[in-house]
Amino acid sequence: MDRKLVGKRIKGKRLQEGLTQSELAEKLDITYQQVQKYENGTVQIKYTRLVQIAKILKFDEAEFFEPAPSSNITGEHTPSYKPAKHSDETILVVSRDERALLKLLRKANNRKIISGITNLLKGTVELIKQ
C-alpha cells in the first residue's frame, strides 16, 4: 500500500466534505497532528482506521486502493499514477457526479466504449457552447 497515495486520497475526500484536519481528528478521537501524518503518508494507517475514515468521509474504503486510470477523459494515454515528488501538488476535488462518471468509465474497461463516451461528451459540450 502506498502511504502517500492513500494520504492524498484522504486529504482530497476530507476537503471535498468540507472538513478541517481538526474536525476529522475530533470525529476519529485523535489529534489533528495524527491526521496530518496520515495525509502526508509519514505513518502507516491500520485498516480499521481506514474504515473509520471512509465512513466519516462517506465513501467506500476500497477507493483508497483503486488504481489510477490509464487514460484521461480526452482519451489520451497517460502513464500509471506515480506519487508526487513535490509537496505542492494540487489535489483535484471533484463532485459526486464527476466521481460517479469516472467510476463508470473505469468499469467500462473497454477502449472503444470509453472513446465513444468521450466523443459524445465533447460533442455535447460543443453544442452547449454554441
Q: What CATH number is given to the structural domain containing 97?
A: 1.10.260.40
Q: How many domains does the chain have?
A: 1
| Euclidean distance between CA atoms 49 and 38, whole angstroms | 10
Q: Is the dihedral of CA 23, 63, 66, 30 positive or negative?
A: positive
- The answer to whether the beta carbons of residues 41 and 35 sit under 8 Å apart is no
Contacts of 112 (CB under 8 A, 6+ apart): none
- The answer to whether the beta carbons of residues 81 and 70 sit under 8 Å apart is no
Give the model's confidence band at 22: pLDDT under 50 very low, under 70 low, under 90 confident, else very high.
Answer: very high
Domain containing 64 equals 3-129
What's residue 58's pLDDT? 87
Q: For 42-66, how does the pLDDT look when each residue is reduced to its tens digit (9 = 90+)?
A: 998 888 898 899 999 988 777 776 6
Query: What's the whole-model pTM score?
Result: 0.52
Question: What percentage of the chain has pLDDT greater than the value 70?
Answer: 76
27-40: average pLDDT:
95
